[in-house]
Structure 1
Amino acid sequence: MPVTDGHTDVITPDGTVTSSQLRAGESYARPAGGEHEVVNAATAPLVFVEIELK
C-alpha cells in the first residue's frame, strides 16, 4: 500500500522493465513467485507498506 505517490520500475531477470505509477492509499498487487527488482524511478522518496503472503 503506497503511503506516498510514486513511480517504480520493476525489472525481471531477463531485463524486462515494467513501469508503474503508484498513488497514496491505492493498493496494488503483483503475481506471486516472480523474481524481480523494484527501483524508485522518481526523484522523491517512495514510502509504502508491503505485505507478502507465503
Structure 2
Amino acid sequence: MTAQFIINSSLVFIGFILLGGAFYSIVSGLQFSKRKKVIAELHQTLAVGSEVMF
C-alpha cells in the first residue's frame, strides 16, 4: 500500500460520491417538478382544512 495508491483510491471514491450526488439531485429535481403541482393542491386543501378547524 503506497501513498500514491491510497490517494488514487480516495480520489476515485470521492468521484463516485460526487457522481452519485449529481445523479440523485437530477433525478429528485425531475420528480420534484412533477410533484410540485400535487404539493400545491395538497397545501391548498390543508389550508382550507385548518380554516374550517379553527
TM-score, length-normalised on structure 2? Answer: 0.15
- Greater C-alpha Rg: 2
Higher helix share: 2
TM-score, length-normalised on structure 1? Answer: 0.15
Name the structure, 1 or 2, with higher relative contact order (CA <8 Å, separation 6+).
1
Higher strand share: 1
